[in-house]
Structure 1
């Protein structure tokens, strides 16, 4: 079952466009799933006010995606100080980094696969017959999300790193939202005191239990 988690907007960067952002996270099971996190970011509000594409047009790896609308995930294993950062842009660009410690020793992480970013937008609620047809076909109509909303799906895939799965995984989830008026807001599961800082240990708010016994 996916975990549904709300992101909190940093008080120093209010967002006039969005009512909220929710993230659904699933740790994929099976032989190749324990090191893979399926993510679904859902932003609802005035989508026309956002400075962001709503369709995937790129699949390449790119740096500094955080300068514009970007959805992120951070992963730290057990008591280690090193961690990983994933960036997912609405146009399909992505990146993954490894840090040796807090904001130090950053390198591009090579042992990851492209996340296969997908997007979906809904401007108006579904008609009852359309909803019934989707449900009959076994398709989730997403009526639990307030309309209008934008959804981005991606997978943080660390399978090739062979990271330990007999320890808890500490996860941070976040987003940068750019509006057409030039303002940017910063969203996370939890914010540390002071300025927005997704790398801060306080932001690794979600703890996933070990996928197998030690």
Structure 2
């Protein structure tokens, strides 16, 4: 289990532990599980989409959002893929040519929320990511924006190497996808 750490400690972040698990199921598919462990009454989620109502949508990071960053290497000027998935199933994927450069919607990726569990003391989300480019990526950054019931947000990542919360900083892509 991989622990995601909040960028800033708050009264709310003290109540929660955020963890993730990575499953490489094929050359072109990765499943990420996110575990938010704590009193879920303090979490804010968008309403769940029913059936096939999940859509590709921008600005998912403005509320609770499960994210992942895939890269060929850790060089700041090399390409990478950003994946966003809302706990309601809405999603998006963006390709970058370098650090926060050349952002465009990635037309090859497909993201789906394949499982959601919400109990009083934990929430579990399983995100399936499919893309032919996945077989080329070697590094992974796992992140989450968590919105709390008072509207405040916390930024969780495997590590926070810079002076501010910055999910695009490749120094935080610490999980190797190479076995």
Cα 1:102–1:156 shift into 2, 3 Å: same
Go from structure 1 to structure 2 and tell me whether the alpha carbon gap of 1:22 and 1:54 turns closer, same or farther (over 3 Å shift). farther
Equivalent of residue 148 in structure 2, options 153, 174, 179: 179
Is 1:103 matched with 2:96? no
1:38 corresponds to which of 16, 26, 31? 31
The answer to whether the 8 Å contact 1:54/1:121 transfers is no
What are structure 2's unaligned runs of at least 5 residues?
A: none
C-alpha spacing 1:78/1:45, structure 2 compared with 1 (3 Å): same
Deviation at 1:118, TM superposition (A): 2.4
* Change over 3 Å in CA distance of 1:102–1:54 after alignment to 2: same
Offset of 1:183 from its aligned partner? 0.8
Long gaps (5+) in structure 1: 124-147
Distance 1:113 1:15 in 2: 36
Q: What is the TM-score normalised by the length of structure 2?
A: 0.89
Shift of 1:201: 1.4
Q: Deviations over 1:65-84 (max 9, x none)?
A: 00100010000014661100
| Structure 1 runs (4+) greater than 6 angstroms displaced | none
Residues 188 and 114 of structure 1, relative CA distance in 2, 3 Å threshold: closer
After TM superposition, the score normalised by the length of structure 1 is 0.75
Quick one: which of 41, 45, 48 aligns to 1:48?
41
Residue-pair matches, total: 174
> Partner of 1:76 in structure 2?
71
Q: Which residue of the other structure, out of 135, 139, 156, is the alignment partner of 1:170?
A: 139
Structure with greater Cα Rg: 1
Name the structure 2 match of 1:152. 125
Aligned residue for 1:62, secondary structure, equals coil
* Alignment of 1:196 onto 2:165: yes
